[in-house]
């Protein structure tokens, strides 16, 4: 009886290992997946508290501000430097 249980555990671990090897080789051979991962880059990370952080991420030509907290959904805000520059110019024109 104990040999049967040991054999079942060994077979189960073998199946998990085979699935891991299959998924690893599949992800390495898919160029579309590699291209999408290569386009992401974390530019800056700031811990706001023990359970929340702020990230600036580049995805291709665009930048995003991502605020993550442990007990809530992440907030993703696109950062558009041209729009920010236009808003600053408009604000400075109004002040004059």
Model confidence pLDDT, tens digit, residues 23-40 = 888 877 766 655 556 678
Structural domain for 27, as ranges: 1-38
What's the domain count of the chain? 2
Is the same domain home to 62 and 44? yes
Q: Which residue has the tokens 């808003």?
A: 87
Is the same domain home to 3 and 49? no
Is the same domain home to 44 and 33? no
What is the C-alpha to C-alpha distance for residues 66 and 48, in angstroms, rounded to an integer? 12
pTM of full prediction above 0.85:
no
What is the C-alpha to C-alpha distance for residues 66 and 32, in angstroms, rounded to an integer? 24
Is the same domain home to 47 and 71? yes
Q: Is the pLDDT of residue 72 over 80?
A: yes
């Amino acid at each position: 009886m104990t040999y049967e249980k040991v054999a079942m555990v060994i077979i189960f671990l073998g199946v998990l290992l085979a699935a891991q090897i299959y998924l690893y080789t599949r992800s390495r051979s898919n160029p579309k997946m590699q291209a999408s991962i290569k386009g992401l880059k974390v530019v800056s990370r700031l811990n706001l508290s023990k359970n929340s952080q702020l990230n600036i991420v580049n995805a291709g030509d665009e930048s995003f501000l991502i605020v993550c907290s442990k007990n809530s959904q992440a907030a993703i805000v696109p950062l558009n430097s041209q729009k920010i520059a236009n808003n600053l110019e408009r604000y400075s024109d109004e002040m004059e």
